Amino acid sequence: MRVTLCAVGRLRNGPEKALVDDYLDRFDRTGRGLGLGPVTVREVEDKKGGGMAAEAALLDKTIPDGAVVCCLDERGKPMASPDFAHQLGEWRDQGRGDVAFVIGGADGIDPALCVQADLALSLGKMVWPHMLARVMLSEQLYRAASILAGSPYHRV
């Protein structure tokens, strides 16, 4: 199952990009034998300043046809890492070819896009900057693949 990260904003060289690249490389290596990956990152920028609605239109264009859509939203469902891994494995086992994780900009994701999603996922009760949300999602994807592979990376 291919994974697409659809995100508002360009991640420039720096510590966040280094972390995202590292975790996504680890996910690709670990997930390959599990039928997960590769990961593609699709970044959009609303250069005209149209707000959340314009960002949602740009994000919508980056989502592969027929993909499971998971929006990261502070009002979404909080999940423990093993539950997230189970959900990812379930989508894969159902034969879904693509999953798209959608990360909005500073104001979040337009509700019109969120209501169309298969899952709204919360990274916790705190609000995180969208660039850090990308780092945290990347780590959780790697952790999910590690859990599914039976790796000792995730300890309980």
Q: Tell me the CATH number at 94.
A: 3.40.1280.10
| d(C-alpha 26, C-alpha 47), whole Å | 32
Indicate whether 62 belongs to any domain: yes
CA atoms within 13 A on the CB side of 65: 0
pLDDT tens column, 76-127: 999 999 999 999 999 999 999 999 999 999 889 999 999 999 999 999 998 8
Indicate whether 56 belongs to any domain: yes
Q: Which domain holds residue 107?
A: 2-149
What one-character-per-residue DSSP string does the chain give?
Answer: -EEEEEEES---TTHHHHHHHHHHHHHHHHHHTTT---EEEEEE--TT--HHHHHHHHHHHHSPTT-EEEEEEEEEEE--HHHHHHHHHHHHHTT--EEEEEE-BTTB--HHHHTTSSEEEES-SS---HHHHHHHHHHHHHHHHHHHHT-TTS--
**In this model, does residue 156 exceed pLDDT 80?**
no
Backbone angles phi, psi at 146, to 5 degrees: -65, -40
Indicate whether 154 belongs to any domain: no
Indicate whether 128 belongs to any domain: yes
State in Å, rounded, how far the first CA of the chain is from the last one.
Answer: 27
Indicate whether 9 belongs to any domain: yes
Indicate whether 23 belongs to any domain: yes
Residue pointed to by tokens 């997230």? 84
Residue 66 identity: G
Helix 130-149 and helix 81-93: axis angle, to 10°? 70
Residue 48 pLDDT: 86
Q: What is the pTM of this model?
A: 0.95
Indicate whether 46 belongs to any domain: yes
pLDDT tens column, 70-83: 999 999 999 999 99
The total number of structural domains that make up the chain:
1
Strands 68-78 and 98-103: parallel
